[in-house]
Amino acid sequence: MNSTHDIVFHALENFFIETPSWGYADTGTRFGKFHQPAAAIDMADKLADAGQVHRLTGCCPSVATHVLWDFPEPGKEAEIVALASKHGVRIGSINPNVFQDQEYKLGSVANPDPEIRARATKHMCDCIDLGKELHCRAVSLWFADGTNYPGQDSIRARKHRFEYALREAHNRLAADQILLVEYKPFEPAFYQTDIADWGMAYMMAKIAGPQAKVLVDTGHHYLSQNIEQIVAWLLDENMLGGFHFNDRRYADDDLTLGSIDPYQIFRIFHEIHFYAWERGGVYPRIEYMIDQSHNLKPKIEAMIQTVTTAQELYAKAALVDHEAMVKHQAEGRIIDAEMCLKKAFNTDVSASIGAWRTAHDLPVDPLAAHRDSGYEAAAAAERSQRRIDLGISSASSYA
């Protein structure tokens, strides 16, 4: 297997990416929301939209869910699973929500109040049980915990509270489940976030137990941080559990993948292909997920754009000539080693990707196919009417 065509086919055959339920609904910034008539209103709409993305791209079979947003009423789980399957997708990662309730003002599992900590830990355990029931492998943890002012709380005590809660959660896992620990340097906490970077997430995952790994959200880094180095280190430690993909210019901007810096995503994928090449082509199991809320772009179009960009960059990164690269590295030929990456990045893979899509009965241009399908207009008409029937306002709301 060495033609561009074969390498691209092989790469795409094994590349799946999960789309987030929250990327299909109306979202905004803290300054306001711009409503879209076709935005999903409920979980049925989100699953229908995710189904449309999967139908056209063939690589998004699962949908990440946020428990309080997507499973608000207990007892509806089977209905939601059936709906997902009706739309040709399945429920993927389960995201507990320990950040939106009023009790969590001072934190969830790191809250100074033991009762609130217990409540947050119980919610995580309930989510793990839900994952067992729905056969979902990944329970993905992100905490808004932190403080806004120096002296507000003991940084070390908060660390200890986290250690305890994550061990409790880990104890609850079934043998085939994993716990993903996500980090973020700031927001909503602005002085210190309890799990602020990959080192802290790594330590917390290690303390939690062997089924816990780190989740890298590409938007959760300081400007100019070398994310591929983090990825390489986590791979080397067998601690890379998954990704939340998005792009950013300033902070956690949730811009579509590759819109600002496609070469960075390529370099991240390169580290993964390189690691697998050193292991005779055996890839580690990594949960590839998108974490974007499309504020201005049409949501399904933005998701398709993201997914096809991810496929393109993953395929390009698979083209790096590793044999030549390691030889150049060993002999100190810096430019030649670097050019192995540049050459792959600059290769036009569109014909091979198009052929792969045709071979799978998929449209060569999923975005154009979506635009031609009339899905957006039909969803806009039906959902606008439903909003009126339900008395849901579509006026902008400002915080």
Q: Which residues pair with 212 in a beta bridge?
A: 179
Instruction: Specify the residue, 22 or 104, whose C-beta has the smaller distance to ligand PSV.
Output: 22
Residue 45 binds ligand PSV, judged by CB under 6 A: no
Look up residue 76 and give its amino acid. K
Instruction: Specify the residue, 271 or 291, whose C-beta has the smaller distance to ligand PSV.
Output: 291
Residue 217 binds ligand PSV, judged by CB under 6 A: yes
**95, 121, 309, 352: which one contacts ligand PSV (CB under 6 A)?**
95
Give ∠ CA 100-105-109 in degrees, rounded to 5.
Answer: 80
Closest approach of Mn ion to the CB of residue 220, in Å: 7
Closest approach of ligand PSV to the CB of residue 273, in Å: 25
In the β-sheet with 240-245, what is the strand arrangement from edge to edge? 19-20, 62-66, 90-95, 138-141, 178-182, 212-217, 240-245, 287-290
Closest approach of ligand PSV to the CB of residue 218, in Å: 10
Residue 291 binds ligand PSV, judged by CB under 6 A: yes
Site for Mn ion in 269-308 (CB under 5 A): 291
Give ∠ CA 219-65-312 in degrees, rounded to 5.
Answer: 50
**26, 45, 145, 217: which one contacts Mn ion (CB under 5 A)?**
217
Please say whether the beta carbons of 393 and 33 come within 8 A. no
145 binds, among Mn ion, ligand PSV, none (CB under 5 to 8 A by kind): none
Residue 202 binds ligand PSV, judged by CB under 6 A: no
Mention every residue, 6+ apart, whose C-beta is less than 8 A from residue 144: 98, 99, 104, 107, 108, 188, 189
Instruction: Specify the residue, 217 or 312, whose C-beta has the smaller distance to Mn ion.
Output: 217
Residue 248 binds Mn ion, judged by CB under 5 A: no
Which residue has 């929500």 as its token pair? Answer: 97
Site map for ligand PSV, 236-265, x if CB under 6 A? --------x-------x-------------
For the chain, how many helices (H) and strands (E)? 15, 12
* Binding region for Mn ion (CB under 5 A): 217, 244, 291
